[in-house]
Chains A and B, each alone.
Chain A
């Protein structure tokens, strides 16, 4: 039996406003608990919300970027439930009239095709605080710094059919919000998190199966693993003749599994109703057109430009265009290096590798784009080889200075003096008679491969500094003379 997964996603993106959605308190991350919670965030008696217009601007920009209907009149509703980190006893959200209506994004699949994923809606709401269970034995600490941080909840259609498609969609939305500058996209800090609705059905059936919702996953990798695991779990149950319970699940990254949190029967009745403390938000065409004029270049357009302007491959262009900061880094490095392809290889190779290994954001990379460009120039002008460049890059990453400083300090400048290289080549030929004999007696078409041995010896003797092209040329010339 062939199964098919049906996946819909709800993404919560924290909007990068300076102050909260309904109060003037700061939204900065990482402050001492409850130092960024004012009387309104604490829901003191008598306090009232005042809507932050910057959150409206950001939500509208998102709507324009996904070609969505913008709600000319959107309304805040109260979602009522009790929880200690929800100070008012309700979350102010938008149920009936969201700011962003139906829109779509295009995702690029591994097979090179493009798929359109529908966005049902995106609405504004306030984030809750945090419950801290670890620090207080037998008690729960409440930190309300995050309470009232503006969120844009982006709800997709159930259009995705695999974990890979889901991740491609999340990456696309991530790229959009970071490019628009409306979300810092920091998943580790919870600025961008995802709820995954997953069901499976026999391929070809129209009816959806019962779905589960796995909440608050905060990395691309975990999203993929959680969905893969959930698909497998559901198929196992169905193949054993069981039924899928509609429920909310949690992903445990340590065990790489999802587990049940609460079933639909235990679900709250949120008693939504329009918030009487806030007026409907009414926006006009002029407001929308003003914002449309300020839209920055978006990833799809940038990808196309990278292909046409820098002759990058489709894949390279896609990877480099997704993140606003990564693409800026690439373009700066490419300009400084005067070689876009080389820059692309390095940004996607060494730079990305180091970022991943040290869990650093591109904006925090110790090697700036200009510094990288400087290094790549030294490759282009033959000062160092690509291999030595990696060694220089390591040192630059460790803070030992720019490329020229490191090359100078470590004496890594490439040897291009033909006399010096020739001396090393002669020495290696003289010291390895058996291999020279093999070479001389070998069939001509096999000799090319055999040069590698001598190359290695010469490079070793030069501590990697000899120009590999020159070495190869001299070796070939001298060995052929012996035949």
Chain B
């Protein structure tokens, strides 16, 4: 049962092979037994899950079940869930019970999905290893001494360890794609604005985008069918028709033009990863795709620009956590300034504080033009790079990450080394483009992710390209050794 994809589980529910309550209880039991190894959940919402599963079964009995009814998933712990702690992996919100549902959560609830719990993450989604979580790091099921990536590391670990068939994640600079790559699962960051950000606790508003983390491209399409759509509560949400993302999964790829940016295949990339990516490209060639060398000349500027824009927005977005209305408040504040300083000093971890400091500095009077304004200019250049490239090719491919998973603590002392792990993912957030990571092999026994980048609103195309690869290969079916 735990090896089944969402699509297969939906069949099982439809055929009466098992009920949603049975499925849900099996997962809850497995989480109870196994998650101490992975620390992938911050909260398990057992009672609520069983109640939702019962409601889903009742709905099915009445003949009113939809494609997602009764399927269990987990939510990254920055999607607000009514009546359930929404911590963002932070001491700051350890005591925060959300009084409302995020639009994404509401959509899954309406579709009849079952929420197993809330997954671990880097604090306020700031990190690439899940080590900045207040609840301790989540661990990579392929090697529990290693990180699952981040910030959606808990969702990735849960799906890879078969503790959830699928989970939601968010991606501000690679936070869906990078952990998907490091744990051997499938993840897609949709076009900016496809998925409502209402109720998704903000890290960097102009970059944040929710998306699915699944075992297969087909499952990701099923998730997107539920998650996407215009939301009047989010002014940046796209008022665009939502297609059936599963409709075009099996389109043949003959004639597909794939661009390979030379900047994504240079020095500093793990040899095993380079090898697996080349093998994947060969696979596409075998399916009739045409390969074209392209250039994204401003790639090297993406990380510096990102580390201005994202912290700048974060420094402002995180100002609301002030100890006044909710969340952590220091003991016995002597005055207002003391309340602010200690509540924020004690409630935020070091990485969050570092980014607030960087962002505050970048927006300061006298520095705005030199940093923030310049970063916005770079953002336009990067957008233009992609526009030029995507005028010539259908999709762009390359490695999702330069390295496979690393040991816990290995990069903790060097934030910049950690930031560099997002070099291939970050540009897409700056451009607002959709991107996907699919498993394409192993380097020294650790999963490797192939990144597929498409044009705005081309999610269906990405899913099709990923799905055809998964029809031709079996990398996505591999499970970590030693899973119970």
Minimum CB–CB distance for A248 against chain B, Å: 17
* Chain B hits for A82, CB < 8 A: 319, 322, 340
Contact A90 B100 (CB under 8 A): no
Minimum CB–CB distance for B62 against chain A, Å: 33
Contact B235 A49 (CB under 8 A): yes
* Chain B hits for A42, CB < 8 A: 325
Contact A273 B319 (CB under 8 A): no
Contact A88 B233 (CB under 8 A): no
* Chain B hits for A87, CB < 8 A: 320, 324-325
Q: Give the residue among B86, B316, B325 with the most A Cβ atoms within 10 A.
A: B316
Minimum CB–CB distance for B234 against chain A, Å: 5
Docked complex Cα distance between A142 and B339 (Å): 15
Of A217-225, A276-284, A398-406, the segment with at least 4 beta carbons within 8 Å of chain B is A276-284
For residue A269, CB closer than 8 A to chain B, the reply is: yes
Interface majority SS (helix, strand, loop, mixed), chain A = loop
For residue B206, CB closer than 8 A to chain A, the reply is: yes
Minimum CB–CB distance for B102 against chain A, Å: 6
* Chain A hits for B197, CB < 8 A: 46, 48
Q: Give the residue among B201, B232, B322 with the most A Cβ atoms within 10 A.
A: B322
Contact A43 B86 (CB under 8 A): no
Minimum CB–CB distance for A387 against chain B, Å: 61
Contact B320 A43 (CB under 8 A): yes
Which B387-423 residues have C-beta < 8 A from chain A? none
Contact B316 A89 (CB under 8 A): yes
* Chain A hits for B365, CB < 8 A: 269, 271
For residue A84, CB closer than 8 A to chain B, the reply is: yes
Docked complex Cα distance between A49 and B205 (Å): 12
For residue B428, CB closer than 8 A to chain A, the reply is: no
Minimum CB–CB distance for A304 against chain B, Å: 44
A84-99: CB near B (< 8 Å → 1, else 0) gives 1001111000000000
Contact B320 A276 (CB under 8 A): no
B289-302: CB near A (< 8 Å → 1, else 0) gives 00000000000000
Docked complex Cα distance between A78 and B317 (Å): 10
Contact B319 A89 (CB under 8 A): yes
- Given contact pairs A44-B100, A47-B198, A78-B316, A273 touches B88 in the complex (Cβ within 8 A): no
* Chain B hits for A43, CB < 8 A: 320, 325
For residue B93, CB closer than 8 A to chain A, the reply is: yes
Contact A48 B325 (CB under 8 A): no
Minimum CB–CB distance for A275 against chain B, Å: 8
* Chain B hits for A273, CB < 8 A: 312-313, 316, 363, 368, 372
Docked complex Cα distance between A47 and B197 (Å): 9
Contact B325 A271 (CB under 8 A): no
Docked complex Cα distance between A412 and B260 (Å): 101
- Given contact pairs A42-B325, A84-B324, A271-B364, A279 touches B236 in the complex (Cβ within 8 A): yes
Docked complex Cα distance between A51 and B236 (Å): 11
Which A271-304 residues have C-beta < 8 A from chain B? 271-273, 276-279
- Given contact pairs A84-B324, A273-B372, A48 touches B100 in the complex (Cβ within 8 A): no
B301-332: CB near A (< 8 Å → 1, else 0) gives 00000000000110110111110111000000
Minimum CB–CB distance for B195 against chain A, Å: 13
Which A59-95 residues have C-beta < 8 A from chain B? 78, 80, 82, 84, 87-90
Minimum CB–CB distance for B358 against chain A, Å: 13
Docked complex Cα distance between A78 and B360 (Å): 13
For residue A45, CB closer than 8 A to chain B, the reply is: yes
For residue B96, CB closer than 8 A to chain A, the reply is: yes
Which B77-121 residues have C-beta < 8 A from chain A? 78-80, 86, 88, 93, 96, 98-100, 102
For residue A442, CB closer than 8 A to chain B, the reply is: no
Contact A46 B364 (CB under 8 A): no
Docked complex Cα distance between A87 and B319 (Å): 9
* Chain B hits for A44, CB < 8 A: 80, 98-100, 326
For residue A50, CB closer than 8 A to chain B, the reply is: yes
Contact A50 B316 (CB under 8 A): no
For residue A39, CB closer than 8 A to chain B, the reply is: yes
Contact B96 A279 (CB under 8 A): no
* Chain B hits for A140, CB < 8 A: 336
Docked complex Cα distance between A43 and B321 (Å): 9
Minimum CB–CB distance for B203 against chain A, Å: 11
* Chain A hits for B233, CB < 8 A: 48, 50
* Chain B hits for A88, CB < 8 A: 319-320
- Given contact pairs A82-B340, A89-B316, A273-B312, A45 touches B324 in the complex (Cβ within 8 A): no
- Given contact pairs A48-B198, A273-B312, A80 touches B235 in the complex (Cβ within 8 A): no
**Closest B residue by C-beta to A88:** B320
Contact B235 A39 (CB under 8 A): no
Other-chain residue from B79, B206, B324, B325 in contact with A276 (beta carbon distance below 8 A) = B206
* Chain A hits for B315, CB < 8 A: 80, 271
- Given contact pairs A45-B201, A48-B197, A278 touches B235 in the complex (Cβ within 8 A): yes
For residue B199, CB closer than 8 A to chain A, the reply is: yes
For residue B166, CB closer than 8 A to chain A, the reply is: no
Contact B364 A80 (CB under 8 A): no
Contact B326 A276 (CB under 8 A): no
Docked complex Cα distance between A277 and B318 (Å): 14
Other-chain residue from B205, B235, B364 in contact with A50 (beta carbon distance below 8 A) = B235
For residue B200, CB closer than 8 A to chain A, the reply is: yes
Contact A45 B235 (CB under 8 A): no
Contact B236 A80 (CB under 8 A): no
Contact A89 B235 (CB under 8 A): no
Contact B325 A277 (CB under 8 A): no
Minimum CB–CB distance for B168 against chain A, Å: 13
For residue B378, CB closer than 8 A to chain A, the reply is: no
Contact B312 A84 (CB under 8 A): no
Which B225-256 residues have C-beta < 8 A from chain A? 232-236
Contact B202 A46 (CB under 8 A): yes
**Closest A residue by C-beta to B361:** A271
**Closest A residue by C-beta to B360:** A271
- The 4 A-B pairs of least Cβ separation, nearest first, read A89-B319, A271-B363, A276-B205, A276-B206
Contacts from A to B (Cβ < 8 Å): 39, 42-51, 78, 80, 82, 84, 87-90, 140, 142, 269, 271-273, 276-279
Contacts from B to A (Cβ < 8 Å): 78-80, 86, 88, 93, 96, 98-100, 102, 197-202, 204-206, 232-236, 312-313, 315-316, 318-322, 324-326, 336, 340, 360, 363-365, 368, 372
With A50-B235, A89-B316, A271-B365 given, name 20 new contacts (CB 8 A).
A43-B320, A44-B326, A45-B80, A45-B93, A45-B201, A45-B321, A46-B198, A46-B200, A48-B198, A48-B234, A78-B316, A88-B320, A90-B319, A271-B315, A271-B363, A273-B312, A273-B316, A276-B206, A277-B202, A278-B236
